[in-house]
Amino acid sequence: MAGRYKSDLKWSDVTPKADWINRRQLMAGSGALALGSTAGPAVASLGAQKTDWGAGLEPNTVEEITTYNNYYEFGTDKGDPAMHAHALTTEPWSIEIDGLVDQPGSYGLEDILKSVTLEERIYRLRCVERWSMVVPWVGFELADLLAMAGVQPSAKYVAFETALRPDEMPGVSYPIIDWPYKEGLRLDEAMHPLTIMATGLYDEPMPNQNGAPIRLVVPWKYGYKSIKSVVRISLVEEQPPTAWNNYSANEYGFYSNVNPDRDHPRWSQKYERRVGGGLFAKQEPTLFMNGYADEVGSLYAGMDLIENH
Ligand code: MTE
């Protein structure tokens, strides 16, 4: 089914904070009970197609996913994005696609969503800071968007940029990184079916603090590669500069594939703490490529992944 997107309803409109509950647990526990009947106003379901991605993974709750965030444009504390990101204007929204493409231009989000199929993808998210979550994203394959623009044969990398709105983003007045937030992928990574542009989670529109209205999700890489609120995608020939790599190349490599054998210079990456597990939760071993090596390992055949961290 082609993607449906109820842009007239925002997460905050339909989900009062007191009603933040784990929909999945609710559904599982009560059979046919629909959230709409308990939460009051109609829920802006995105109608995402179910997929097998994430079978066997238990997602974190909505509350965990939307109150423990990294979105430095809104502050550096984990609770800052939930407090401040409501100021971000997400409608209308368009993405400038430029560089080595046949059809450069401004792509309206509404138009993009008319030509893609929204799927639910339940993915692990592993932050470089050693915490992790499981998130039921809603999105579509980045490859589909790139196909709309027509990637030219000389393109080797894809560069991404987040919106930069000093009036709406209190965090950008601090020169933590060189704003706007930038990320990049090699073209084959960008075209991989695991790589999605997400427009929602828990089958509802993306909360602002998670990168509304549209963000990248690359599940086998550290979370900072999954850039939020994307306004520009550029197809380029050379490896593009990226925000955290510019900040400290030894700490944050361009590839940033999750790798328990390549320690961050200031901490081990062998273990992680699942958000929501409680203060005394046992640390869990970090999985190579965050558990997605079977799918994406061949992209790095013959590469030294310590050197190319
Ligand atoms: N994108 C932007 N624009 N700004 C950010 O600060 N933080 C990154 C990534 N994308 C970040 C960003 C980091 S470090 C992580 S771990 C994930 O977003 C967190 O995504 P989440 O808040 O949805 O869990």
Query: Taking all residues of the chain, what is their mean pLDDT, rounded to a whole number?
Result: 89
Q: Which of 224, 258, 286 to mutate to test the pocket of ligand 1 (most atoms within 8 A of CB)?
A: 224
Average pLDDT over residues 216-234: 99
Contact 258, 222 (CB under 8 A): yes
Q: For residue range 254-293, what is the model confidence (pLDDT) as tens digits? A: 999 999 999 999 999 999 999 998 877 789 999 999 999 9
For position 32, what pLDDT does the model report?
34
Ligand 1 site, CB within 6 A: 69-73, 125, 127, 162, 181, 210-211, 223-224, 226-228
Structural domains present in the chain = 11-251 (3.90.420.10)
Tokens of 155: 């393109």
Give CB contacts under 8 A, 24+ apart, made by 216-219: 216/142, 216/160, 216/183, 217/121, 217/123, 217/125, 217/137, 217/139, 218/185, 218/189, 218/194, 219/123, 219/124, 219/125, 219/194, 219/290, 219/292
Test site for ligand 1: of 123, 228, 272, 286, most ligand atoms within 8 A of the Cβ: 228
The residue whose CA is least distant from atom 5 of ligand 1 is 71
Q: Where does the pLDDT of residue 183 fall: very low under 50, low under 70, confident under 90, or very high at 90 and above?
A: very high
Q: Any idea which of 24-38, 200-214, 294-308 has the lowest mean pLDDT?
A: 24-38
**Is 23 or 273 the better-scoring residue by pLDDT?**
273
pTM of the predicted protein model:
0.88
Q: How far apart are CA 4 and CA 24, in angstroms?
A: 21
CA of 70 to the centre of ligand 1 (A): 4
Residue 34: predicted pLDDT = 36
Nearest CA to ligand 1 atom 17: 223
Question: What's phi and psi for 38, nearest 5 deg?
Answer: -100, -25
Give the tens place of pLDDT for each residue, 68-126.
999 999 999 999 999 999 999 999 999 999 999 999 999 999 999 999 999 999 999 99
Q: What's the CA gap between 190 and 149, in Å, rounded?
A: 14
Determine the number of helices (DSSP H) and then strands (DSSP E) in the chain: 10, 12
